[in-house]
Structure 1
């Protein structure tokens, strides 16, 4: 066929490809592996979600919220790996299940609040780059289950609640009057579920330096189970981000737990919330970690709103 005619044919098919794009379908089986590593006397347990395809896959790091573990976020890890990503769920000891497991029932809330401190934040800031360093070692370790399985040139990071705080910091949020940063240049895109605005200083000063693609997800009832975070404060992050591949989803009536695996049977539980979270996050990763044009067209077009319900909000800049 004439090369010009062939190019025109491909262009004519692009809209159809975008219309046919379905971020909710799963493309392969998923295998999970539990492992851990140590650095500087500290252990980091991991849960690895391996895609069926053994070719090098983009990597997504997943950070749990306060009191969680590597088992949190299974509904996301399974789905993303089913789409061909290698997902690494990290467990941050000191702000994980160990905080509350042995505490009396009436003392668990206090134990959780005590664990949200500067020391555990600093531990998380060390865990993420240490995990990336370890993945680089395993990538070239002969005989390791992860050897040759990862595309470490394309890495995303995501997390919920305290994991969102971790994500924001690794993506480039500035902290304090001196603008301290914990950004890791190996990260290419970030997903914050239940993001947090800074408690001190302006949001603009904190977030204006985040240049990478970033997606935020929250809900109109997304407060904090143990703190005083108001749902409205989570909405302060998006306006403070610079323009360029930034996205925000606000789910009507979604509470804090709506973004985790747990469901409490309350009136705010909505099965469509997880569908929307899975779909939009998948299109985001496929756009910015794999460079898939049809995913980008879906994300920038009418695809997200077609899955959303009345009262949900979607915006991009």
Structure 2
């Protein structure tokens, strides 16, 4: 009985997690208008039944009925409270958003996985029933809670396959353990380098988190690429020299590429900051994968979050923008002599980081992509749900690199499969990968740490933001979907300060060719910059063999928990 109740407790946590993920699911056929009366929990040959009424009485009033009592007595008080929260936790999602997300290709994969654990009473996969329950709950005043979804399940009973659920949970635990080992190894190496490094007095260096000496002029322009029938908007931030900081040459150009479902405003803070240090900055908005595309999905005007051709269009957007900036620097009085579009840096986040890496020379690797996507039903790397959409593209060699790009920063990049090892090997310019240890969208181990070991060029950097999430560095925007604070993670203002300081140093050294900024690109400076609750680590080398040795070590005692996200 104790083993069964322990498994039951784990399953409630598991179901809560899966139901949260299942918002990205797909519509299916409908069921008769029924609602679940009981939850049947199965573990091998053992089966136990709890009525939904009992779960509701316990969650809402703390009443323990007879069919629930045998389980509750083995659960600690703290766990009991957690169970009640899981049952009543409401996901704040609009009904139309739920319905439209159910139409996305990525959703079908997630729902199929969830259906392996939550089934109909007869033991059939419950994916279609889960769809209808979620839609019904979303339209109910009580909203999407685990308890309400169970209520809306279109059958008299819900069967939870604990054996399969616990197997999936065990698989996830192994993934987390491997990630913790890798992060511990990087942190350990970074600490050793920082302690042993001899350099200038770090405390005496100017504070790059503070604005520079240039005033900034912002211009918003529309661009039309007639060849691709594609128009987009870009904000251009021009540094205005003052006093002794006169700038006699044209400013290098930094391009910022936003992530999926985002817009120009999310990195406006970074553009303003970089321009204050004498760098011209262009922040473009990618149609087809921006906040408007997400809104179109909600309204039924789009079929998915991003069409597969966005893997090609995004880098081509930047190429076209650079062409236009070169033209403006020769023909427009406002920009004449003030832009050096031959000396370019690119920084992007998530899908924007993919964009930056493609422009830096990474090539789409269809062989790697096919191999990884064949096992997509068994992965915990959610970014593959987007990466695998690139398989829709015609299989030939796309020329996405731009030789005007001299350095690139990729924040929370996706690309482990769409580029693979061979694709990333083609990058020959300075590149920095920024990872968050609590990133559950583009997890640090498969998407940043392993890909870092595949880079061959000597000027490579891996910056780890411990406890950072996929959204830590993003600023709020009026047009993007608001995110709850646990998803954003702790102290986003600190995370943005880190990115401001790192980006200034990286681009001033590698794009503006200013040697004064080399001292900032060191483990010792990063250690000096580092603060709780987002401690930083920086390494410049990590081989595949070294990473494999780290993964084979016993688990570290101190674990950076991914559950902070």
Normalising by structure 1, report the TM-score. Answer: 0.84
Q: Hey, what's the Cα distance between the residues in 2 that align with 1:298 and 1:91?
A: 30
1:287 CA drift (Å): 0.7
Of residues 199, 206, 214, the one that matches 1:21 is 206
Q: Tell whether 2:274 aligns with 1:274.
A: no
For residues 147 and 17 of structure 1, do their structure 2 counterparts lie closer, same or farther at Cα, with a shift above 3 Å needed? farther
Q: Tell whether 2:463 aligns with 1:249.
A: yes
Q: Which residue of 2 aligns with 1:223?
A: 440
Q: Which ranges of structure 1 fall in alignment gaps of 5 or more residues?
A: 1-13
1:148 CA drift (Å): 1.6
Of residues 21, 36, 60, the one that matches 2:222 is 36
Of residues 494, 510, 524, the one that matches 1:288 is 510
CA RMSD of aligned residues (A): 2.5
The structure where strand makes up a greater share of residues is 1
Match of 1:238, SS state, is helix
1:123 CA drift (Å): 1.5
Normalising by structure 2, report the TM-score. Answer: 0.49
Q: Hey, what's the Cα distance between the residues in 2 that align with 1:59 and 1:85?
A: 6
Q: Which residue of 1 aligns with 2:106?
A: none
The structure, 1 or 2, with the larger RCO (C-alpha pairs under 8 Å, 6+ apart) is 1
8 A Cα contact 1:197 1:236, kept in partner:
no
Match of 1:261, SS state, is coil
For residues 133 and 238 of structure 1, do their structure 2 counterparts lie closer, same or farther at Cα, with a shift above 3 Å needed? same
Cα deviation per residue 1:141-174 (whole Å; 9 max; x = unaligned)? Answer: 142x222211223110111111011111111112
Total equivalences in the alignment: 294
1:192 CA drift (Å): 0.5
1:300 CA drift (Å): 2.9
Q: Hey, what's the Cα distance between the residues in 2 that align with 1:248 and 1:86?
A: 25
Q: Which residue of 2 aligns with 1:97?
A: 291
Q: Which of 1 and 2 has greater Rg?
A: 2
8 A Cα contact 2:526 2:537, kept in partner:
no
Q: Which residue of 1 aligns with 2:373?
A: none
Of residues 331, 334, 346, the one that matches 1:141 is 331
Runs of 4+ deviating beyond 3 Å: 14-19, 102-105, 177-181
In the TM superposition, 1:49-128 aligns within 5 A as: 49-53=237-241, 55=248, 56-104=250-298, 114-128=304-318
The structure where helix makes up a greater share of residues is 2
Cα deviation per residue 1:162-206 (whole Å; 9 max; x = unaligned)? Answer: 1011111111112124664411111100011111233267x3212
Q: Hey, what's the Cα distance between the residues in 2 that align with 1:96 and 1:219?
A: 22
Q: Hey, what's the Cα distance between the residues in 1 that align with 2:464 and 2:202?
A: 27
